[in-house]
Amino acid sequence: MQTVFSKSSFIVILITIFSICNASASSIYFNVKDYGAKGNGKNLDSKAINKAIEVASADGGGTVFVPAGKYLSGSIRLKSNICLCIDQGATIVAAPVCAENDYDDEELSVNTIYQDYGHSHFKNSLIYGYNIENVSIIGTGLIDGKNLYTSFKGDNGDEFKAVYQTAKQTANKSICFYRCKNVIMRDISIIHGGWFAILATGVDNMTIDNLKIDTNRDGMDIDCCRNVRVSNCYVNSPCDDGICPKSTYALGYPQATENVTITNCFVSGYEEGSMLDGTYKRSLDKPYGGLPTGRIKCGTESNGGFKRITITNCIFEYCRGLALETVDGAILEDITISNITMRDIVKDPIFLRLGARMRGPEGVLVGELRRIKINDIMVYNADPKYVSTITGIPGHNIEDVELSNIHFYYQGGGIKQDLNKTIAENIKGYPEPGMFGEMPVYGLFVRHAKNIKVNDVEFYTIHPDNRPAICFDDVKGADIRFVKAQKVPESACLVFRNSSNINIFESFDLKNENILKADYVAK
């Protein structure tokens, strides 16, 4: 039997379906405009956004939806089982920092001795999660932290100091998670991120995917976190680090940052804002003596150490190079880096540092840096003053490092120097590429190290350089295989000091040999 629907019956069915879908959507999505948000860039909307979060949380969780518009905001307090969805065309704008604009006070810190102020407080943020789980920030909208503090002199620095001395409203982070589990951040953009665009401390199981961050200080700090995936992100940070695993004492005990993958990412040091607008400007008023930062770095805070980290398929452009550092008594081990392209690098393309700053509780021993594998790297137009360095300290060697299939193209232009010049140990110094000054070699400097492999590595200079390519100082056991270096006539290729058991094979037009004890210059 054939059933025939009248036009009016069809309309009734459509209305019924729409009502059911709308009721279903209402139970899942909590639109901030339904809770009083204006989105006009003038009214303070954080109270309405927080109301939507509270209602969603009381309902068992759900998605708090921020539609297109500009939302002036103080602190947004995330809760468990909440997804904050910032839609295309929506911007959450940090209001000027004060209690009247609904910013939270800084909470009492576990300690303020072993890390700086920014790593010691967490609720003083634009958006934060504190001891929560199953939370996400998604969408293709924008977070603008333009009024957050950065502490830089001339860039809200004076204001920050004044507020810090007289009040507790010192918001300085765009997004912060502290002691959280199961966190997702995906697809959002951040501009002018404050002291940290993203700070995650003590977070387990975190995914950060397809973010665009264009900021004046750190892009993302991954501190004392476990099981982290960072992928497909663009981070421009001329005045500080781009993607930065750390391990502070902010939890009140040392905890390693471990099981981390960073893949398919871009880091740079162009003028703030010029990555998002596509102009990629090289500022005439550059920070740090004219040298932008950017980069991927493990450190400098290193109380808990770093374990099992993989960095692959990334691009460094107009910034500093890769840095792995442990100077506060922790272990840094089992790190693999591969498929990296660097261009216009302003300091050491590769920087490994084991030091003894020891900013932490008394009685902690000097740490260890070991089992590092770096391969398939292309470096072009690197600053000739700052060579790649692998440096421990007397009595504490960096161990088991392999460099393979790497091509270095330095700018060159260096002049011949005294190969016996004393290079300060700087044992307790702040770990930073360039900390040893200009080297008497142009390519690679290795000191206080053991079991080093340099395999299929080539050193070139764009302009002639009168310095040797490599210096080994107090190196115990090294394999140099299939290594090439550009050099001018009469200059050396290798310098050995106080080193032993060096194997040379098919390298530098030198004869193949095992050098049991080396303290000489190889032409």
What's the rounded mean pLDDT across residues 247-259?
Answer: 97
Listed ranges 26-30, 45-49, 492-496; the one with the highest mean pLDDT = 45-49
DSSP string, 244-283: EEEB-STTSS---EEEEEEES-EEE-PPTTTTTTT-----
Return the residue matching tokens 């909307």: 45
Q: For position 285, what pLDDT does the model report? A: 59
Q: Report in angstroms the alpha-carbon separations of 476 from 108, 404, 495, 499.
A: 48, 19, 14, 6
What are 7's two structure tokens? 């036009």
| Each residue's pLDDT tens digit, 258-304 | 999 999 999 999 999 999 999 999 975 555 556 899 999 999 999 99
Phi, psi angle pair for 231, to nearest 5°: -145, 145
The yes-or-no verdict on residue 99 having pLDDT over 60 is yes
The yes-or-no verdict on residue 2 having pLDDT over 50 is no
**DSSP category for residue 173:** E
Higher pLDDT, 120 or 491: 120
In angstroms, rounded to a whole number, what is the distance separating the alpha carbons of residues 203 and 226?
7
Secondary structure element (H or E) that encloses residue 480, with its range? strand 470-481
In angstroms, rounded to a whole number, what is the distance separating the alpha carbons of residues 84 and 184?
10
Strands (E), 320-443: 322-326, 331-345, 350-354, 368-382, 388-391, 398-412
Residues 499, 523 contacting (CB under 8 angstroms):
no
Q: For position 267, what pLDDT does the model report? A: 98
* Cis, bond preceding 207 (omega within 30 deg of 0): no
The yes-or-no verdict on residue 21 having pLDDT over 60 is no
The yes-or-no verdict on residue 6 having pLDDT over 60 is no
Residue 11 has a CB neighbour count (10 Å cut-off) of: 11
The yes-or-no verdict on residue 238 having pLDDT over 70 is yes
Residue 278 has a CB neighbour count (10 Å cut-off) of: 6
In angstroms, rounded to a whole number, what is the distance separating the alpha carbons of residues 17 and 341?
53
Q: Which residues, including other chains, have CB under 8 Å from residue 456's CB and lie 6 or more apart?
A: 404, 405, 406, 481, 482, 483
Confidence of residue 376 (pLDDT cuts 50, 70, 90): very high
Q: For position 25, what pLDDT does the model report? A: 45
Q: For position 155, what pLDDT does the model report? A: 42
What's the rounded mean pLDDT across residues 35-56?
Answer: 97
Query: How long is the chain?
Result: 523
Q: Say whether domain 121-147+165-522 belongs to CATH 2.160.20.10.
A: yes
What's the rounded mean pLDDT across residues 362-379?
Answer: 97
**Is the whole-model pTM more than 0.75?**
yes
Q: For position 24, what pLDDT does the model report? A: 43
Confidence of residue 156 (pLDDT cuts 50, 70, 90): very low
Q: For position 455, what pLDDT does the model report? A: 97
What are 262's two structure tokens? 């960073």
What's the rounded mean pLDDT across residues 432-453?
Answer: 94
In angstroms, rounded to a whole number, what is the distance separating the alpha carbons of residues 353 and 431?
7
Comparing CA positions, the residue from 107, 35, 110 lying closest to residue 75 is: 107
Secondary structure element (H or E) that encloses residue 314, with its range? strand 306-319
Tell me the three-class secondary structure of 98-154, residue by residue.
Answer: CHHHCCCCCCCCCCCCCCCHHHCCCCCEEEEEECCEEEEEECCCEEECCCCCCCECC
What's the rounded mean pLDDT across residues 356-368?
Answer: 95
What are 348's two structure tokens? 């050491």
Q: Is 358 helix (H, G, I), strand (E, B) or coil?
A: coil
Residues 97, 169 contacting (CB under 8 angstroms):
yes
Q: For position 514, what pLDDT does the model report? A: 80
| Each residue's pLDDT tens digit, 311-351 | 999 999 999 999 999 999 999 999 999 999 999 999 999 99
In angstroms, rounded to a whole number, what is the distance separating the alpha carbons of residues 241 and 41?
30
Residue 39 C-beta-side C-alpha neighbours within 13 Å: 17
In angstroms, rounded to a whole number, what is the distance separating the alpha carbons of residues 209 and 67?
21
Confidence of residue 522 (pLDDT cuts 50, 70, 90): low
The yes-or-no verdict on residue 102 having pLDDT over 90 is yes
Comparing CA positions, the residue from 54, 55, 53, 50 lying closest to residue 73 is: 50
* Cis, bond preceding 326 (omega within 30 deg of 0): no
The percentage of residues in the chain with a pLDDT greater than 70, rounded to a whole number, is 89
Q: For position 18, what pLDDT does the model report? A: 43
The yes-or-no verdict on residue 112 having pLDDT over 90 is no
Residue 134 has a CB neighbour count (10 Å cut-off) of: 16
Q: Which residues, including other chains, have CB under 8 Å from residue 360's CB and lie 6 or more apart?
A: 114, 249, 254, 303, 328, 329
Mean pLDDT for the chain overall: 90
Q: Is 293 helix (H, G, I), strand (E, B) or coil?
A: coil
Higher pLDDT, 77 or 507: 77
Higher pLDDT, 55 or 11: 55
If phi over 0 gives left and psi between -120 and 50 gives alpha, with beta otherwise, what is residue 489? beta
Q: For position 154, what pLDDT does the model report? A: 40
The yes-or-no verdict on residue 363 having pLDDT over 50 is yes
Q: For position 319, what pLDDT does the model report? A: 96
What are 5's two structure tokens? 């629907």
Which amino acid, one-letter code, is at 404?
S
